[in-house]
Amino acid sequence: MTLDPRDVGQGLCGSSCKVRGAHLPYINRVPNDPALATEPLSTLLRSGSQQEHREAESSPFMAELVDGRVDAAGYARYLGSLRRVYAAIEQVAVELRDDVIAGPVIDPALERLASIDADLAVWGSNPQDAAAIDSPATDAYVVRVLDSMAWGGLFVAHHYTRYLGDLSGGQAIGRVLSREYDLEPGAGVAFYRFEQIPKPKPYKDGYRAALDALPLDDAGRARVLDEVKVVFSLNGDLFAELSALLPQYRR
């Protein structure tokens, strides 16, 4: 089945995209980093992408959000961009659920789309508004996710980066939002709650074990790591775009 970005609420950004990382070619090489042969994949992905992770997290938008200084429209826009990204991820997951590489980490318990839709309603938006957002950074991100269907390892990079982050730091963000915006218990933060995963720690341990058991040679592990770095860059571009809009979303 051929996937079209329009099926997940937006169009292709084309070959002229200038979003950092989105234009990078997929890498097919055999690097000489000894860690590729000695470190478990989960450790390699974490340690090998620390710089990109830090850069993506150093976002004025997120800093303002957790301090309660972004209004409902600004947070709804952020959720709208996330909705399009997760729509693409969950669509590709359906296509790759039996893939020998991607299949072992795909789990419907992780799906976020329904939770995002519930949150959008609380923050004054809806899926139709999300699909209409003008966001080149989101466009590029979605295209990259759809392209990852070409090889399961590329999709693993997207799956790992988003869902492990949601199960880790995302939990704390949900608690901060509830406090800073004086939300009703559970309202507006369903995205950060995994109803089918009551204990994130053992789940994350099992996810990392599944990563470590994937049938990848050194070149394949390098491709996954390279794609994880691209995913963090795409997230950074999305946050940079939102940060530039902070004046209109100031609370």
Give per-residue pLDDT as tens, 153-192: 999 999 999 999 899 877 788 888 999 999 998 899 999 9
pLDDT at position 161, please? 95
Would you place residue 1 in the very low, low, confident or very high pLDDT band (cuts 50, 70, 90)? very low
Q: What is the pLDDT of residues 15-43, one digit of tens each?
A: 333 333 444 444 444 455 666 667 999 99
* Domain annotation covers residue 28: no
* Domain annotation covers residue 26: no
* Domain annotation covers residue 6: no
Listed residue (4, 232, 14) closest to 136, CA to CA: 14
* Domain annotation covers residue 9: no
- Phi and psi, residue 135, nearest 5°: -145, 95
Report the domain count for the chain.
1
* Domain annotation covers residue 179: yes
Listed residue (230, 251, 187) closest to 53, CA to CA: 230
Residues 6+ apart with CB under 8 A from 75: 65, 123, 177
* Domain annotation covers residue 3: no
Domain that residue 240 falls in: 50-249
CATH code where residue 175 lies: 1.20.910.10
Is the pLDDT at 11 greater than 50, yes or no? no
Tokens of 29: 């090489």
Mean pLDDT of 244-251: 95
Is the pLDDT at 10 greater than 70, yes or no? no
pLDDT at position 12, please? 29
* Domain annotation covers residue 174: yes
Give the whole-angstrom CA distance, residue 39 versus residue 97. Answer: 26
Is the pLDDT at 7 greater than 50, yes or no? no
Give the chain's mean pLDDT: 87
Mean pLDDT of 80-87: 97
* Domain annotation covers residue 178: yes
Mean pLDDT of 99-115: 97
pLDDT at position 170, please? 77
